[in-house]
Amino acid sequence: MSAMSGHVAIFETHRRRLQALAYRMLGSVGEAEDAVQDTYLRWHRQAFAELRSPEAWLVTACTRLCIDRLRAAKVARAAYTGPWLPEPVIAPEADFEVELAESLSMAFLLVLERLSPAERAAYLLREAFDYDYPAIAGILGKTEAACRQLVSRAQKHIKTERPRFDVDAARAHDLAQRFAAAAQSGDVAAFAGLLADDAMIWSDGGGKARAALNVIRGADRCARFFAGIAPKHPRGLTRRFCRVNGQIGYALYHGQKPYSVVTFEIVDERIRSVFVIRNPDKLARLEPLN
């Protein structure tokens, strides 16, 4: 194996971790892939440098690139049309892992959006990727004390809002099936017992697809919203249940083309949040329906 091919092989052993970190930082599969590619280009330029810890070098480069991208993204998201939701990560329903669900859920990523880029990076490195404070200090170029403060501030922000995952897979699937049937029928009464009193709907059309321009709050208003839009859906939609960011959800297809993705936050065996992604840019990576 040549020195260069060995260098590439080292990068590939860390690609999955870098992609996981970048997605949690940015909430976009495409932006995460770009950040990882930029990390590779920088790594390629280091091809013949002697590094004590390739992993530390790569994670440092990727994290700092993500912080820069996130700062720019926050400006764009402030001007976004309607509620902004992360680009969904879709997996077959059977591919369910609790640790994946707890670190990737739409609800949790939205909580992370409220942190500063540095707080988000420090928190994820500590809580999701289990780096110690000396390592985090090296990655962020800050003192250990400063990194502890960043994580502490992030924890305080997250403490009261962090989603709970206390429902088993069978119950979650049952709730999703009943919700999908109610949303299709447009029968307000069919939502009884499904939605928490403080239920919310986040609908992301990005100005490119029909969606609510504000978060809808309250079980009754949420039920009436879905009843109101049911007749407006095109005929012949096909539903496929799947895991969306580790949580139960489903994708709707119009013909072979993705129409929307729906997923949930379930608390105390009721649906507390419904996340509807309709922005076609965020559905472009979904496989067509065969």
Q: What is the 3-state secondary structure (H, E, C) of 123-192?
A: HHHHHHCCCCHHHHHHHHCCCHHHHHHHHHHHHHHHHCCCCCCCCCHHHHHHHHHHHHHHHHHCCHHHHC
> Are the CB atoms for 290 and 216 separated by under 8 Å?
no
Residue with tokens 């997250």: 158
Q: Report the 10 Å Cβ neighbour count for 273.
A: 23
Ranges in the chain, pLDDT < 70: 1-4, 47-50, 92-102, 162-166
Which pLDDT tens digit goes with each residue over 86-131? 999 997 654 444 444 567 899 999 999 999 999 999 999 999 999 9
Which pLDDT tens digit goes with each residue over 241-276? 999 998 999 999 999 999 999 999 998 899 999 999
CATH class of 169-283: alpha beta
Annotated domain spans of the chain: 3-89+115-159, 169-283
Q: How far is CA 195 from the centre of its chain?
A: 22
pLDDT of the residue at 290: 72
Tokens of 77: 């998201």
> Are the CB atoms for 96 and 246 separated by under 8 Å?
yes
Burial zone of 56 (CB within 10 Å; 0-12 exposed, 13-18 middle, 19+ buried): middle
Residue with tokens 């309709």: 278
pLDDT of the residue at 49: 63
CATH class of 3-89+115-159: mainly alpha
Determine which helix (DSSP H) or strand (DSSP E) holds 251, and give its type and residue range: strand 247-254
pTM above 0.85, yes or no: yes
Alpha helices in the chain (DSSP H): 3-26, 29-45, 54-78, 98-104, 106-112, 117-123, 133-140, 144-159, 169-185, 219-229, 280-283
> Are the CB atoms for 271 and 195 separated by under 8 Å?
yes
> Are the CB atoms for 270 and 196 separated by under 8 Å?
yes
Tokens of 178: 């009943």
d(CA 220, CA 199): 9
